[in-house]
Amino acid sequence: MADKVVLAYSGGLDTSVAIKWLKEKYSLDVIALTVDVGNERDFSAVRDKALKVGAIKAMVVDVKEQFVNDYVFPALQAEALYEEQYPLATALSRPLMSKVLVDAALKEGATAIAHGCTGKGNDQVRFEVGITALAPDIKIIAPAREWGMTRKETIAYAQQHNIPVPITISSPYSIDENLWGRSIECGLLEDPWNEPPEDAFLWSVSPADAPDKAAYIEIGFEKGVPVNVDSRRMDGVSLTQYLNQLAGSHGIGRIDMIENRLVGIKSREIYEVPAGVVLMEAHRALESLTLSKSQLRFKQRVAQEYAGLTYDGLWFSAHRRDLAAYVQSTQQFVSGTVRLKLFKGKCSVVGRKSLHSLYSLSLATYDKGDRFDQSAAAGFIHIWGLPNKTQSQVQKTEDD
Ligand code: ARG
């Protein structure tokens, strides 16, 4: 009997060709594994296609709930945005997919795991570093990185081997999607000067076509996790899907950026993240009410670090565990409600409240009921400014 390989199977051209190629080149029997992280797809058709192309077994594993609860929401609590903009949708899915692949490989007694990434992206790194962290001895094969075929040659190979080539191959973009967002690359987006055409977007309308009337929503959080919208309690998956739909219909969630890949390439990326944009805004607003100045300041640095390591494929690392523990501890009192206005592509926070709010009206007000002792300010300023005063007296420079 031939050795087995578990292949991360998307149903697309590359991973379909990989099924045949792995058999031809390595004499491996292929078990096709499709991970459902909320990508809208006909999964039974994907499974059938894998079998038709020659996989000895094909399975679909639904991990949407785990994805949202154990990957997306922790990143939301951290406010993790790569290079200040990207909510990491693709990056967050890879460690979970790696875990599912490893579990299946162990269960099926496979000697190898294969993925369809090319040699130019971040995803190959995330898969391989993730898989290696969980199963250090398993062999990893990256057919699309190894075979060195051009797009045309891949199509020819598929035709020779009776592998159906999707007619949508003419789609000009490379797309990855899951519950948290859609990542769009390639085609005319490769020129950073080109405005993204409307057909790049699927989850959001153009802000110009969004309703003329604003929508107001209230999102409730418990310990930094969103749990209800307009007082309707929802599980994480439904809440994310609901907000994707609603915010997308108001033109919210489009991101256009140049990003620094781990492999040293700058790339032009378009993202569609309606729920992500709304939840990040709302969560940040609630933190501004419930965390102290020093917590907020330090947490910003943690957020940058957290986003960086997630992007760089180090989810399964001691460093992430340590940062996650810090983030978790900060979320203890991040409970309350945020009111948002969705209007023509813009999501604005218009209200926030919490039982644990640190905002004190009697300290902030300029009106009656003021409990702030203004006379104490003079002494405070005298002492606060003392070291600075001393230094500027003693150490005069030419600019003074
Ligand atoms: N640049 C993003 C990342 O590295 C998205 C990559 C998405 N892949 C794709 N085939 N479009 O996380």
In the chain, % of residues over pLDDT 70: 99
pLDDT at residue number 277: 98
Kindly indicate the confidence band of residue 41, based on its pLDDT and cuts at 50, 70 and 90.
confident
pLDDT at residue number 151: 83
For ligand 1, the distance from its centroid to the CA atom of residue 258, given in whole angstroms, is: 12
> Is-contact 184 175, C-beta < 8 A?
yes
Q: What is the CATH number of domain 4-170?
A: 3.40.50.620
pLDDT greater than 80 at residue 64:
yes
Kindly indicate the confidence band of residue 169, based on its pLDDT and cuts at 50, 70 and 90.
low
pLDDT greater than 80 at residue 379:
yes
Residue 384 CB burial class (10 angstroms; 0-12, 13-18, ≥19): exposed
204 lines ligand 1 (CB under 6 A): no
Nearest CA to ligand 1 atom 11: 175
pLDDT at residue number 1: 83
Least confident of 42-46, 133-137, 296-300: 42-46
Query: pTM of the full predicted structure?
Result: 0.95
The residue with greater pLDDT, 28 or 41, is 28
Rg (alpha carbons) of the chain, rounded to whole number: 25
Catalytic residue list contains 14: yes
Catalytic residue list contains 238: no
The residue with greater pLDDT, 150 or 54, is 54
Domain boundaries, the chain: 4-170, 176-291+334-353
Rounded to an integer, the average pLDDT of 214-243 is 98
The rounded distance, in Å, linking the Cα atoms of 150 and 157 is 10
DSSP 196: P
Rounded to an integer, the average pLDDT of 8-35 is 96
CATH superfamily of 176-291+334-353: Argininosuccinate synthetase, chain A, domain 2 (3.90.1260.10)
Helix, coil or strand: residue 252 = coil
pLDDT greater than 90 at residue 292:
yes
Q: Which residues contact 114 (CB under 8 A, 6 or more apart)?
A: 5, 6, 7, 8, 18, 22, 30, 140, 141, 142, 143
In the chain, % of residues over pLDDT 90: 92
Calculate the CA 218 to chain-centre distance.
23
Same CATH fold, 176-291+334-353 and 4-170? no
pLDDT at residue number 108: 98
**Which candidate, 329, 352, 323, places its Cα nearest to that of 340?**
352
Determine which one of 29, 123, 182, 320 is catalytic: 123
335 lines ligand 1 (CB under 6 A): no
**Which candidate, 309, 318, 270, 322, places its Cα nearest to that of 94?**
309
Least confident of 37-46, 331-340, 351-360: 37-46
For ligand 1, the distance from its centroid to the CA atom of residue 326, given in whole angstroms, is: 28
**Which candidate, 132, 18, 46, places its Cα nearest to that of 7?**
18
Q: Which residues contact 66 (CB under 8 A, 6 or more apart)?
A: 96
Determine which one of 10, 14, 98, 182 is catalytic: 14
List pLDDT tens digits, range 364-377: 999 988 999 999 99
Kindly indicate the confidence band of residue 57, based on its pLDDT and cuts at 50, 70 and 90.
very high
Least confident of 255-259, 372-376, 380-384: 372-376
Rounded to an integer, the average pLDDT of 39-54 is 92
Kindly indicate the confidence band of residue 283, based on its pLDDT and cuts at 50, 70 and 90.
very high
Kindly indicate the confidence band of residue 167, based on its pLDDT and cuts at 50, 70 and 90.
low
For ligand 1, the distance from its centroid to the CA atom of residue 161, given in whole angstroms, is: 29
Catalytic residue list contains 137: no
What do you get for the CA distance between the two ends of the chain, in Å? Answer: 84
pLDDT at residue number 164: 87
